[in-house]
Structure 1
C-alpha cells in the first residue's frame, strides 16, 4: 500500500482483459482499476493512454484510439449471478439514495449515446446497450423489492 518513497499508493483492482488493437493484434493483458471504478469508466475518462501489464509483469501503454475492443475476462461470472445489487455495484445495505446514485453512475458510463459520441466501434455500442439494459432491469428490481415505484 505504500510506495518505497513513503508516499501513499492508490489501491487498484487488477482485471484480466482481452485487448484487440486496431492493427488486428489480440492480447490478454491486465488492467488496474480504482475501487468503485469499472473498466468502461477508464475508457470514458479524459486520459489519452491506458497502461496494461503483461503476464510477465512488463508495462505496455496504449493510446485509447488504438483499442478496437477491450473485453474484461470473467465479467460474465459477475453478471451471471443476476443479483441486481452486483449489477449496479452497490451494497445490499446501501440507502435508497446511495442505490439511486450508483444506478445513475452505472448507466451514465455505458449509455449508448455516450459511447457512440466517443467514436468507438459498433461492438462497444452493442455491449453498452446490453449493459445499460441489464443496469436498468437491476434498478427496477431493486426499486420493486424496496417499494420505490415512484422513482
Structure 2
C-alpha cells in the first residue's frame, strides 16, 4: 500500500493511463511482443533504459520499480515476457550497460519510424520524471537518448514541456500555462503562432498519418485521444484570447 500511495502522489495513474499506456500497449502487443520478446530490440531496450535511468540517481526507488511494474501490467506482460522485461531492467541498472551501443541498435531498426522513436523517447522522459523532478544526470541521459534517436535538444525540451503540461492539466484542470506547454508555445505568443503550432501537432499525431506509417487499426482510437488533448489545449487558448 505504501508503494501505491507514492505512486498516486507522483501521478503515475495518469502516466500509465489514457493515450500513452494504451498506445504503447496496443503497438507492442500487436507488433512486438508476439515475436521472441526476450530478444526484441524495442522490448528489451525500453525496459533496460528505464532501469539505467532509474539507477542514474544512485539508487532505484520504490517509485521507479512501481512505474516499471505498472508499465508491464499496462501492456499485459506475464510469464516469460514479464521475466524478460524484468531481466532487461536489471541489465540496464548495471554500471557497464552499453547504453549508446544499444540505442544505436534500436535507432537502426526505427530509421523510418520516427513516430515509434518519439514514443520510445517519451517513455524515457516520463520514467525520468516519475518523481516530478529531473536531475542533471537524468537530463544528460535523456539528451543522449534523444540524440541517438535523431531528436535535437529542442524536440526533447518540447516533449518534456508537453509531459509537464498534460500531467498538470490532469491533476488540476487545464490552465493556459498547461495548454501552452502541450502545444509547445509561449504564453506571450499571438494566436496565429499558436494556431501554427496546433496544426503542426495535429498533423504529427493524426491517426490516418500514423496508420500510413504502420500504426495498427486497433490504435486509431488512442491516437484520436492524443489528438483530442491537443485540440483541447488549442480551444482553451483560443477561448482565453477571445
Give the secondary structure class of the aligned counterpart of 1:107: helix
Which residue in 2 is equivalent to 1:56?
99
Q: Is the 8 A contact 1:110 1:128 kept in 2?
A: yes
Unaligned runs of at least 5 residues, structure 2: 1-23, 51-96, 127-158, 170-177
Indicate the residue corresponding to 2:179 in structure 1. 84
Once the two structures are TM-superposed, the CA of residue 124 in structure 1 deviates from its matched residue by: 4.3
CA contact (8 A) 1:115 1:124 kept: no
| Aligned match of 1:115 | 210
| SS of alignment partner, residue 93 of structure 1 | coil
- After superposition, where does 1:1-151 map in structure 2 within 5 Å? 20=28, 22=32, 23=35, 24=37, 25=40, 26=43, 27-28=45-46, 29=49, 56-58=99-101, 59-60=104-105, 61-63=108-110, 70-71=119-120, 72-73=122-123, 74=126, 76-82=163-169, 83-122=178-217, 124-147=219-242
2-structure distance, mates of 1:129, 1:89: 19
Distance 1:133 1:127 in 2: 10
Q: How far off its partner does 1:121 sit?
A: 2.1
CA contact (8 A) 1:84 1:138 kept: yes
- More displaced stretch, 94-103 vs 58-67: 58-67
1:111·1:129 contact (CA, 8 Å) conserved in 2?
yes
Unaligned runs of 5+ in 1: 1-17, 31-53
**Counterpart Cα distance in 2 of 1:66 and 1:91:** 29
Instruction: Quote how far apart the aligned CAs of 1:127 are.
Output: 3.3
Counterparts of 1:136 and 1:111, CA distance in 2: 11
Aligned residue pairs: how many? 107
SS in 1 for 2:187: coil
Higher relative contact order (CA 8 A, sep 6+): 2
Q: Report the alpha carbon displacement of residue 114 of structure 1 after superposing the two structures with TM.
A: 1.6
Structure with the bigger percentage of strand: 1
TM-score by length of 1: 0.56
Contact 2:183–2:234 under 8 Å retained in 1: yes
